Amino acid sequence: MANTAELNGVNGLRDIRRSPASHLAAALEAGSVQGTVVLNEGPFQTMAGVRVDPRSEEGGRIAAAAGGLPARCGEVTGKDGVSVLWLGPSEFLVVAPEQAHDSLGGNLIGSLTEALGDAPGQVVDLSANRTTFELSGPRARAVLEKGCSLDLHPRSFTPGTALNTEVGNIPVVLQKTGEESFRLFPRASFADFLGRWLLDAMREYASPEVP
């Protein structure tokens, strides 16, 4: 977890906020194999759940505020550090750096709410709903393939896409951010399980390879 103590939220509550897998930080560091596969919990993010018909007028306003709405499964749109992930035909997850939150001086939730107006749909602040695991390294795909049945080969799962699926039998949003780096968004209550599951899946890569 990044040290963001300089950010003072409402009544200083920001200072005592703990991320869902913060108790695993030392284990994640110990379990990572530098140069092979590295796992850590990402910083807090501002997330907003958006439900809107993308073909409607309000959908167009939301798209303008968020930097586009993805049209189909896997697509990710966005601008200025904001990612919009496709969760369903009319359901999207907006992910932005923590500073974009309204209580920390940003305007993400407010601008989306304003763009929706009174039209049918919803914009919900989900910043505390999910945490972020960052998995990277040449063996990152092999680790994920132990518990994810999707085709994660680069020919079908390309950088800059995100899929709503299961990893280790729990629902996560799996985003591929680079050739060998992934972001996993499990719900907070699954963070402990997924962190330990990933550590277990990474363990074999700490040992010398058996020819």
Partner 1 sequence: MLLISCPNCGSRDETEFHYGGQAHVAYPENPNELNDREWAEFLFYRDNTKGAFAERWLHSTGCRQWFNMLRDTVTYDIQAVYPMGTPRPAAAPAAPESGTASLAADSTTTGTAAPSISGTSTSAPSISATGTTASTTAPEGATK
Binding site for partner 1 (CB under 8 A): 72-73, 87-89, 91, 149-150, 163-166, 169, 171
Smallest distance from the beta carbon of 142 to partner 1, in angstroms? Answer: 19
Residue 100 or 163 with smaller CB distance to partner 1? 163
Cβ closest to partner 1, residue 75 vs residue 102: 75
Burial class, 116, CB count within 10 angstroms (exposed 0-12 / middle 13-18 / buried 19+): buried
Task: Enumerate the H helices of 11-139 as residue ranges.
Answer: 25-31, 57-66, 108-116
| Token duo for residue 2 | 């990044």
In whole angstroms, the minimum distance from the beta carbon of 149 to partner 1 comes to 5
- Judged by beta carbon, residue 25 or residue 150, the one nearer partner 1 is 150
At closest approach, how far in Å is the CB of 120 from partner 1?
Answer: 17
Nearer to partner 1, 72 or 155 (CB): 72
Q: Minimum Å distance from CB 49 to partner 1?
A: 12
Q: Where are the alpha helices (H) located in the chain, listed in sequence order?
A: 25-31, 57-66, 108-116, 140-145, 191-202
- Residue 162: its H or E element: strand 161-167
In the complex, minimum distance from the CB of residue 7 to partner 1, in angstroms, rounded to a whole number: 33
Helix, coil or strand: residue 168: coil
Nearest to 179 by CA among 137, 126, 125, 131: 137
Q: Which is nearer to partner 1, 110 or 154 (CB)?
A: 154
